[in-house]
Amino acid sequence: MRLRVTRRRLVAGSVVVLLVAGLVGWAAVPDPARYRTIEQRLTVRTGPDDATEVTLDTTLFLPKSATASRPVPAVLLAHGFGGTKQSVRSDAQDFADLGYAVLTWTAQGFGRSTGEIHLDSPDWEVKDAQRLVDWLAARPDIQKTGDDPKVAAVGGSYGGALALLLAAQDPRIDAIVPMITWHDLSSAFLPNGVFKKQWAGLFFGNGSTDPLNPAQQQPGGDPQCGRFAKDICQAYLKIATTGAAGPDEISLLRRSSPAPVLDRIKAPTLLIQGQVDTLFPLSEGDANARGIAATGTPVRVAWFTGGHDGGTGPQSEVDRVRYLTAQWLDHYVKGNGTAPAGSFTYSRVSGLNARGRGVVTTASSVDAYPGLDGAGRTFDLVGPAQRIANPPDGNPAAISSLPIANIASLLDSGVSAEIPGQHADFVSAPLTEVFDAAGAPTVRIRAASPTGEAVLFVKLYDVPAKGAPAIPDGLIAPVRLTGLPTDITDAQPVTVTLPAVVHRFEAGSRIRVTVATADTAYWSPPDPTVYQVAVDGAISLPAIAGTPIANPEVIWRYVLAGLIAAVAVGLAVVLLLARRRAKRIDRSVDAEHVDTPLVVRGLRKEYKDFVAVSKVDFTVHRGQVVGLLGPNGAGKTTSLRVLMGLTRPTAGEILVFGHRLLPGAPVLSRVGALVEGPGFLPHLTGLQNLELYWRATGRPSADAHFEEAYEIAGLGTAVNRRVKTYSHGMRQRLAIAQAMLGLPELLVLDEPTDGLDPPQIAEMRKVLRRYATGGRAVLVSSHLLAEVEQTCTDVVVMHKGEVVAAGPVDDIVGDSPTVQLDVSDVDAAEKVLEELGVRSVAWSGGRGLVVDVNGTPRAEVVAALVKAGVGIDRVVPRRRLEDAFLSLVGGDTKASGER
């Protein structure tokens, strides 16, 4: 499965579609031969009384096995705000590979679809989706019950709300999987009556004119409203100007909300909500779950450590959500298996937004969804009543969260999250033991204001014994208070419910409640004034008594593979056989090669329609830096994937220090790798990511050699910045440092200099050569031949799935009898040279040719060209690796297929 998170759109509501809608296709790359696509622009009648025609840009991914006699179930796959059908294309391919017909479309007002943005209005976007269900129902290759198609609706954020609203409006929907989406737009964007201006501005800004939408190219368009419908535009402008919403604006936002229609949803619902989400926090999913379950509809809830602010979370989270989604659709759409249990699952990440340690523990589950206000503990808070200033127009303001990635580095560069004089702190005693909070904290505050009103921001801080204080996941509670006295002694306590968090407070940490007057994410009163605030006694933190899910990645991967392959054996049997096989192989060691880092023998990898690697043999010894070369499609990446246990070979074997290699083999702990790009938690700093990765290995911190890794990364102070602010080159350097943690005996790097500038490439050259000293070894795949020649001691050249040469660089270069010719007529020269019988001719740009003379004297080559009337400006002997490479592959640098 491909997980592509892009910030081309500021508000990527499709983030979690990219997490989940790819679903279980992770087990195999989707095979185009198993499905076909139908691109079509469908015109539907929509709007009040169906009075408006809108053209939707659609793609249907249809399994080739689907026929009128063997129809298949369908999935409506909706994209996030600001996206198009292309945003979920790879996810649709994965669904199709699982046997679903998948209909993707660009919502009206976006991309090449016509119409305007109505924010999932039942009269517009939801009705559009109903027309698409009609279209599916008319196809003979779509499975039906009577006249109703078997269809599920899946989507994230904007697409998630559409799934909920569609299920409420159309009883033909058999199951839904809404992700990181809203319950009530009015409460989501005006929590406790305080306008969430930052997120709202991002949404509105993302509704600007789209050059792909021809409807927006007509003269006389509204530059202020862009693609938004006029009523939506005017509501935003009014709220953004005044900081408040009137009855009309509230009514408009609720029209596009699931809240009023949850009792109509009869489709079994899997609700997936992100724990790192300041846009639609856990409370939005909680309200949806309670409203749907109240009518008896099957509901399951899952939280994961990601969201609009947090991306997809670690791989174990991706696996967990994939499994849950596949299981849900498999039962309720395909009708296979028993009904999924109603257990609730979640994972815990401690310090996700902190500069201190970040610790990922196992996922946990409980038998039933506990909600946000479970039993927990109270912690006494100390601090007197305090005076805090409200600045004019909310400026300056505290910084609690920054969904705009390109300014997120402000927090990591030392900018204070709180403004002196504008906040009051109330702190607990140090915790005597670890406490795992899970749910919505509550605290009672008192306030006084000379105006009788106040807008305050209540925040929960984790203050570790060492390290900087941090707000778990950047979640805060805005509060608008009215009817306040002028003196704090007359103030009545008000209970404030903070956003739900899943967070571990370590022993020695303090819990702090901060009450502030202005925050960059929210609207604040424009007039300067001074408030008085106090906290009544204690804060209550809920907890969940969950049971850890043992080894979730392995369990979910095997279960999911079983679902995809329709294996008719129990999960326990599969796991048992896998364990036995792994143990049996672990005991099988080739004594001859126990001290050899890598031996590849007879490696072959076949896919259904082509052979990626036909025969590969080579050895990497201690002290060597071996370059793996070959044109695109030669089989280099496939070989590396097999080497890292990411896929199984069809034939042959790989020995790592004498151990025959399989996925998950223990000997892989002696290997460090960067293959197929780095993957990091975006909300952790570079340093935290390295520490987190090492802790996941379970090895002592002293064995990590962090200082050497930091030096290798070359990030300087940027190592303390969040990874989501990194450039591509910075991520690449961090990935190389991660691969070198623990100083593994064998280091495998795929294009390590990708994204690095020339000075960094030169430094990497020194690092790799130095790394191989002391008995270690390096295998590096690269297309930069000059760098390989200067860096590597040995090379392995692959072409069309085979090794065509292997040995020391000097030997390979010496076997390349090539010359550089600059000629007056390239075409004529090539013809002469071919008739002369040279081994290969490769054009080197301009009037240059690189010629392998194949033993023919250079004088004879020059004479033949002159006799044919071809002018020669230069004849230069060439003995570079590039020439050897071109000679070995016959000048063929084109891909022969994906390998």
**Local confidence band at 124 (pLDDT 50, 70, 90 cut-offs):** very high
The confidence score (pLDDT) of residue 882 equals: 60
Question: CA dist 719 to 335, 464, 619, 707, 723, Å?
Answer: 50, 20, 36, 12, 8
**Which residues lie across from 202 on neighbouring strands?**
none
Domain 587-811 in CATH 3.30.9.10: no
State mean pLDDT over 108-119: 94
Candidate from 157-166, 305-314, 330-339, 460-469 with smallest mean pLDDT: 305-314
d(CA 369, CA 258): 20
Q: How high is the pLDDT of residue 888?
A: 60
Q: Please state, in angstroms and rounded to a whole number, the distance separating the CA atoms of residues 315 and 303.
A: 14
Residues of the chain with pLDDT > 90, as a percent, come to: 41
Banded pLDDT at 886 (limits 50, 70, 90):
low
- Cα–Cα dist 880/810, whole Å: 9
Q: Using a cut of 0.85, tell me whether the model's pTM lies above it.
A: no
Q: Mean of the pLDDT values across residues 837-861? A: 77
pLDDT value, residue 755:
67
CATH of region 376-542: 2.60.120.260
pLDDT of amino acid 839: 72
pLDDT confidence band for 363 (50 / 70 / 90): confident
C-alpha span between 159 and 485 (Å, rounded): 45
Query: Is the predicted pLDDT of residue 585 greater than 70, yes or no?
Result: no
Higher model confidence: residue 428 or residue 25?
428
| Domains 15-189+255-366 and 587-811 equal at CATH topology level | yes
Query: How confident is residue 863, by pLDDT bands cut at 50, 70 and 90?
Result: confident
pLDDT, tens digit, for every residue of 51-65? 999 999 999 999 999
Q: What is the mean pLDDT of residues 269-298?
A: 94
pLDDT of 654 above 60: yes
- Percentage of the chain beyond pLDDT 70 is 81
pLDDT higher than 50, residue 823: yes
Compute the average pLDDT of residues 179-192: 95
Residue 862 has pLDDT above 60, yes or no: yes
pLDDT value for 821:
80
Cβ within 8 Å of residue 136, ≥6 positions away:
74, 76, 101, 103, 142, 149, 151
Band of residue 700 on the pLDDT scale cut at 50, 70, 90: confident
Task: DSSP for 762-808, please give it.
Answer: HHHHHHHHHHTGGG-EEEEE-S-HHHHHHH-SEEEEEETTEEEEEEE
Q: Cα–Cα distance between 213 and 114 in angstroms, integer?
A: 7
The pLDDT of residue 554 is above 50 = no
Is the model more confident about 578 or about 182?
A: 182
pLDDT of residue 132: 98
Mean pLDDT value of segment 578-602: 69
Per CATH, the number for 817-878 is 3.30.70.100
What is the average pLDDT value for the chain, to the nearest integer? 81
Q: What's CA 149's distance to the chain center, in Å?
A: 32
Residue 868 in this model has a pLDDT that exceeds 90:
no
Q: What's the full length of the chain, in residues? A: 899
Domain 15-189+255-366 has CATH 3.40.50.1820: yes
The answer for residues whose C-beta is within 8 angstroms of residue 872's C-beta and 6 or more apart is 821, 822, 823, 824, 862, 865, 866
β-pairing, 651-656 with 598-606? antiparallel
**Strand, coil or helix: what is 603?**
strand
pLDDT band at 898; cut points 50, 70, 90: very low
pLDDT-based confidence at residue 573 (cuts at 50, 70, 90): very low
The band of 899, judged by pLDDT with boundaries at 50, 70 and 90, is: very low
For 235-270, the pLDDT digits (tens) are 999 999 999 999 999 999 999 999 999 999 999 999
pLDDT in tens, 484-540: 999 999 999 999 999 999 998 989 999 999 999 999 999 999 999 999 999 998 999
pLDDT digits (tens, 9 = 90+) for 81-109: 988 999 898 888 888 888 899 999 999 99
Q: How far apart are CA 289 and CA 302, in angstroms?
A: 10
Contact 397, 391 (CB under 8 A): yes
Residue ranges per domain, the chain? Answer: 15-189+255-366, 194-252, 376-542, 587-811, 817-878
